[in-house]
Structure 1
Amino acid sequence: MSSKGIEIEKVKEYKVKCDGGTGGHPRVWLQISSKEKFVVCPYCEKRFELVGKN
């Protein structure tokens, strides 16, 4: 986690799911942009960063 408490997860796929973990929020599927290389969950602000893809 960063100093602001926002979780960052490194992923290898363009499509990821987030449910906020324990006691979190409804499961959502998020699409990572090939241009941006990351996506942020609109519920919990968890950031998913794409690694290993060009």
Structure 2
Amino acid sequence: MATQAPETRIVEQYRVACDGGEGALGHPRVWLQIPQEHGWVECPYCDCKMIHQDHQDKA
């Protein structure tokens, strides 16, 4: 049985929120700051990787 890879989202803001989606099956909403030098951040709950659109070719 294989596990699914975490989701990757391209975002327009450097401050983003993640609640895991899926309604009641998600997680508490957390606000994450994308460091401008890296251009991406991972959610500590669901491992979703959020990549700022200016850095999508580098991440």
Structure with the bigger percentage of helix: 2
One fold, TM greater than 0.5?
yes
Matched residue, 2:27: 25
Runs of 4+ aligned residues of structure 1 deviating over 6 Å after TM superposition are none
Identity %: 44
Structure 2: 5+ residue stretches without partners = none
Aligned residues: 51
TM-score by length of 2: 0.78
Query: Is there any run of 5+ residues in structure 1 with no aligned partner, and where?
Result: none
Normalised by the size of structure 1, how large is the TM-score? 0.85
Q: CA deviation at 1:5?
A: 1.5
The residue that corresponds to 1:15 in the other structure is 15
Q: What corresponds to 1:50 in structure 2?
A: 52
